[in-house]
């Protein structure tokens, strides 16, 4: 019997593919705002991806959701870590909320929803275990080793652009890099004219201390606002869930009146205000009154929730303990790389996985950078398991092998 190899990859004939691609391209040209980012303008660093029936930003969203980094969202802390409560928000839910909120705004403003979705799905991939506390602990170590600050937005780009080498468009990676401004702003206006050289320079400047860069697209600006809308009310909801906030009496009256106290009304009011003040404009903006109320709300959440949980009697000492755990893992794995200890977990998990790009592994990067990437990619559970494995002597079963 003849041995016939199955053809696993089926492709549309070029004529039909061209018709579908032209239809989607014309739909963007005809229906999107003049200020929207068109997929045909998407810039890839290497252009090694052969475009198919999907437009560039749609394909980028698919590539992100199929990465290993995206799979690890499932056990990454949003705000509350090491709390035995299944109703609390994790990163995997947060990015879905950001995507839904941003796409709602983008659709109303006639922007590119594919680009919005791709930025939303990838924007938090770089978060280290235990949320912002973990990010601060890791950043202290990376600065000490002379490789710059650790920031989750830069690390998100690192996972997609270097480690898993997805060859995404500049517009998507730029939106991910610029999604988390450290200061609240009433209005965001995109900075045009970026290229790969400017993008790479922005990354290095951020690692050295530059606080903020504006996205190059309106879609990136929308995601940046949507990120805040998604976590503002949800973090308040989680704080009530764990009993950190007992009632709403401490919330400023201006915040209650303009934005609300329930997650659904907070999301609605902020979205409507953004759309009303941004429609037909080459910027995304709140009204002055809404922006002032939102800034007060963010201050309240910061003091009562993000800092408040660390001051709670059940969390006292956690910052120091987690910092010590990070240092133990970092120094252990850095030593293993320098000593070429092939039995180390970092060799098994970072150097022997087929989905990690060969270019990344073969680059003459500082060993501390590889340790940074390895630890940043861990889920909370895997971090704890790995720490236990290297810190607690293993019990031998019956006899030596």
Residue 306 has a pLDDT of 79
Residue spans in the chain of domains classed CATH 1.10.3210.10? 41-311
Task: Name the stretches of the chain with pLDDT < 50.
Answer: 1
- Phi and psi at 63, nearest 5°, equal -65, -40
* pLDDT value of residue 399: 64
Beta carbons within 8 Å of 112's beta carbon, 6+ residues apart: 28, 32, 36, 37, 38, 39, 57, 106, 217, 219
CA distance 56 to 172: 10
> What pLDDT shows up at residue 400?
55
Q: How far apart are CA 377 and CA 371, in angstroms?
A: 10
pTM attached to this predicted model: 0.91
What tokens does 2 get? 């003849």
Distance CA 320, CA 72 (A): 25
Q: Which CATH number fits domain 41-311: 3.40.50.300, 1.10.3210.10, 1.10.10.10, 3.40.50.620?
A: 1.10.3210.10
The length of the chain, given as a count of residues = 401
389's CB contacts (< 8 A; 6+ apart) are 345
Q: Rounded to whole angstroms, how far apart are CA atoms 269 and 329?
A: 44
Give the model's pLDDT for residue 1: 45
């Amino acid at each position: 019997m003849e041995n016939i190899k199955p053809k696993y990859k089926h492709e549309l004939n070029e004529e039909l593919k061209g018709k579908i691609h032209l239809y989607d391209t014309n739909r963007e040209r005809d229906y999107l705002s003049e200020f929207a980012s068109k997929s045909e303008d998407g810039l890839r660093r290497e252009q090694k991806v052969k475009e198919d029936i999907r437009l560039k930003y749609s394909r980028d969203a698919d590539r992100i959701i199929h990465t290993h980094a995206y799979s690890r969202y499932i056990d990454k802390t949003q705000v509350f870590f090491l709390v035995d409560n299944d109703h609390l928000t994790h990163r995997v839910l947060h990015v879905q909320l950001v995507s839904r909120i941003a796409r709602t705004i983008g659709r109303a403003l006639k922007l590119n929803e594919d680009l919005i979705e791709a930025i939303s799905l990838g924007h938090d991939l770089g978060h280290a275990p235990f949320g912002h506390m973990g990010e601060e602990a890791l950043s202290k170590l990376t600065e000490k080793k002379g490789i710059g600050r650790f920031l989750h937005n830069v690390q998100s780009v690192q996972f997609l652009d270097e480690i898993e080498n997805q060859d995404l468009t500049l517009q998507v990676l730029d939106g991910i890099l610029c999604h988390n401004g450290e200061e609240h702003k009433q209005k965001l206006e995109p900075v045009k004219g970026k290229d790969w050289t400017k993008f790479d320079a922005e990354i290095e400047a951020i690692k050295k201390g530059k606080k903020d860069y504006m996205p190059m697209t309106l879609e990136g600006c929308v995601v940046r606002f949507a990120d805040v809308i998604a976590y503002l009310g949800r973090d308040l909801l989680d704080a009530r869930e764990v009993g950190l906030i007992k009632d709403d009496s401490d919330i400023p009256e201006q915040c209650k009146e303009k934005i609300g106290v329930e997650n659904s009304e907070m999301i609605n009011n902020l979205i409507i205000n953004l759309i009303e003040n941004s429609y037909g404009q080459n910027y995304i903006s709140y009204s002055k009154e809404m922006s002032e109320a939102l800034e007060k709300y963010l201050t309240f959440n910061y003091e009562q929730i993000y800092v408040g949980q660390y001051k709670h009697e059940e969390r006292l000492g956690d910052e120091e303990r987690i910092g010590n755990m990070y240092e133990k893992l970092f120094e252990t794995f850095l030593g293993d790389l320098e000593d070429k200890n092939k039995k180390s977990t970092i060799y098994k998990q970072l150097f022997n996985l087929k989905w990690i790009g060969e270019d990344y592994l073969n680059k003459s990067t500082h060993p501390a950078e590889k340790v940074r990437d390895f630890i940043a990619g861990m889920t909370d559970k895997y971090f704890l398991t790995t720490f236990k494995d290297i810190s607690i002597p293993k019990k031998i079963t019956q006899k030596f092998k």
